[in-house]
Amino acid sequence: MRKPIFTGSGVAIVTPFTDDGVDFNKLEELIEFQIREKTDAIIICGTTGEASTMPDSEHKSVIKFAVEKVNGRIPVIAGAGSNDTRHAVELSQFAESAGADAVLSVTPYYNKTTQKGLYEHFKAIAGSIKIPVILYNVPSRTNLNINPETLKELSLIENIAGVKECVLSQVAQTINLCGEDFTIYSGNDEEVLPMLAYGAKGVISVMANIIPKDTHDLVAKFLGGDISASRKIQLSTVELIKALFIEVSPIPVKAAMNLMGMNVGKCRMPLVDISEKNLEVLNRALKNYSLLS
């Protein structure tokens, strides 16, 4: 039986940028903060990490840096997806060579494909490496869903270990089809609790960038049997989560981190600064959560 790569909260960590490139000193600070605050895994170069704006040389250097700085303390999962199968294979092979514990591979976007094409795409990626693959199903960004029946076929491939799932309505069917050793991670911060109730093992989280311990505790308490405490944490995050997604992510979370004095820099174009109106909403949510005085 396959074990989960991690249980708990995996932070989809932001990439701090300067005008000249990645701020590696700041990235190291963020990694240490996450480990200190009980985050269970680092997901580097994901959507929140703005990997889509990184040339390959930069993307690879950030993966390598994260692996070296984490140094085996918690799993590092490298975003290595692409809508070009050959490119995804290359990034995945690099992530493995750099020492990543797993890769996160997003559903192909723009050119998209069929369900058969999805199977062949992910089969090719998994067959090119020995480390586990976590699929990333986010139709709101890719306009392409991995159907539960396709997930069942993919789950039979030994190193396809699970899915970061953003479609709550198909989680129960996926678990019924794929079995207990195919790990589900919530891809939506507002749906952690219901996904855990279905049998998910954790979350790959945006809000963990600013509330890592609470996000860890939300999962740990549920899995430890304290459903009431887990529910209390999930309900307490409703306003904050709404604010963190008031504009395209990671615009709001980076703005929040800057308001909190974490100085992670701006998003890269085409993402722009949060609007003044929404900044006020975000500021109020941070204050209400006691993240700002």
β-sheet bridge partners, residue 184: 163
The span from the CA of 197 to the CA of 178, in Å, is 16
Which two tokens mark 249? 């992510």
Name the active-site residue from 164, 201, 221, 254: 164
266 is catalytic: no
Judge if the upstream peptide bond of residue 270 is cis by omega within 30 degrees of 0.
Answer: yes
Cα distances (angstroms) measured from residue 120 to each of 113, 133, 269: 10, 14, 32
Q: Which of 69, 136, 201, 289 is catalytic?
A: 136
Q: Is 232 a catalytic residue?
A: no
3-class secondary structure per residue, the chain: CCCCCCCEEEEECCCCEECCEECHHHHHHHHHHHHHCCCCEEEECCCCCCHHHCCHHHHHHHHHHHHHHHCCCCCEEEECCCCCHHHHHHHHHHHHHHCCCEEEEECCCCCCCCHHHHHHHHHHHHHCCCCCEEEEECHHHHCCCCCHHHHHHHHCCCCEEEEEECCHHHHHHHHHHHCCCCEEEECCHHHHHHHHHHCCCEEEECHHHCCHHHHHHHHHHHHCCCHHHHHHHHHHCHHHHHHHCCCCCCHHHHHHHHHCCCCCCCCCCCCCCCCHHHHHHHHHHHHHCCCCC
Residues annotated as catalytic (active site), given as ranges: 136, 164
